[in-house]
């Protein structure tokens, strides 16, 4: 009987070690991975985008999506809030009219539109500056429907900043 108790105790101990190890591996990364997140309860960011290259936009927007998809950010006590405001040459990236782009850019433009659609589904606020559309000759009717048109994108950026969003400039 004593032998059985020792065997049970060893098995129980082994199960506890395995369970603890799995829990450590499966848990989201601690904020200590990013010293900048120490003491942070929520990430709120507005990306102020004027970048006009479709190929670079796809590369950069991988990192933008990663801000709200990262396990360290998701592990914070409040979910992330992200907004993107397009102005300058970036307004052409979200238009269905691709006349100002090379044929070699068409695939990158389609890929970017898909990224924007997914971001909208993920709850990201997407806005484009009407003033920039007018100045750059982009018909507002050609803007993909996931993006809201606002009169002045700078007012949006300032407004988000006043609400506690950190501004990240992408140009």
Per-domain boundaries in the chain: 39-170
**φ, ψ (nearest 5 deg) of residue 99:** -60, -30
Residue 19 has pLDDT above 50, yes or no: no
Q: Note the pLDDT tens digit of each residue in 43-70.
A: 999 999 999 999 999 999 999 999 999 9
Structure confidence at residue 33 as a pLDDT band (50, 70, 90): confident
Residue 12 has pLDDT above 50, yes or no: no
Q: Note the pLDDT tens digit of each residue in 136-154.
A: 999 999 999 999 999 999 9
Residue 11 has pLDDT above 80, yes or no: no
Query: For domain 39-170, is the CATH number 3.40.1260.10?
Result: yes
Chain centroid to CA 111? 16
At 42, is the secondary structure helix, strand, or coil?
coil
Residue 38 has pLDDT above 80, yes or no: yes
Query: Among 125, 145, 141, 123, which residue's Cα sits nearest to residue 133?
Result: 141
Higher confidence at residue 81 or residue 8?
81
Q: How much is the pTM?
A: 0.80
Query: Among 160, 170, 171, which residue's Cα sits nearest to residue 45?
Result: 160
Higher confidence at residue 14 or residue 32?
32
Distance CA 162, CA 101 (A): 36
With beta carbons less than 8 A apart as the criterion, state whether 93 and 86 touch.
Answer: yes
Structure confidence at residue 156 as a pLDDT band (50, 70, 90): very high
Per-residue CA distances from 148 to 71, 83, 103 (Å): 28, 11, 27
Per-residue CA distances from 13 to 2, 3, 10, 26 (Å): 16, 15, 5, 20
Residue 133 has pLDDT above 60, yes or no: yes
């Amino acid at each position: 009987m004593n032998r059985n108790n020792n065997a049970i105790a060893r098995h129980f101990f082994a199960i506890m070690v395995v369970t603890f190890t799995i829990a450590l591996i499966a848990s989201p990364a601690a904020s200590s991975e990013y010293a900048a997140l120490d003491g942070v309860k929520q990430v709120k960011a507005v990306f102020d985008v004027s970048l006009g290259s479709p190929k670079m936009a796809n590369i950069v927007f991988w990192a933008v999506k990663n801000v709200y998809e990262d396990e360290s950010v998701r592990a914070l006590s409040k979910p992330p809030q992200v907004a993107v405001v397009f102005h300058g040459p970036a307004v052409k990236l979200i238009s269905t009219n691709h006349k100002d782009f090379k044929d070699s850019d068409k695939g990158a433009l389609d890929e970017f539109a898909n990224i924007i659609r997914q971001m909208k589904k993920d709850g990201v606020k997407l806005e484009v500056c009407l003033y920039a559309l007018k100045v750059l000759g982009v018909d507002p009717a050609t803007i993909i429907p996931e993006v809201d048109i606002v009169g002045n994108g700078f007012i949006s950026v300032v407004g988000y900043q006043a609400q506690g969003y950190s501004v990240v400039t992408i140009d």
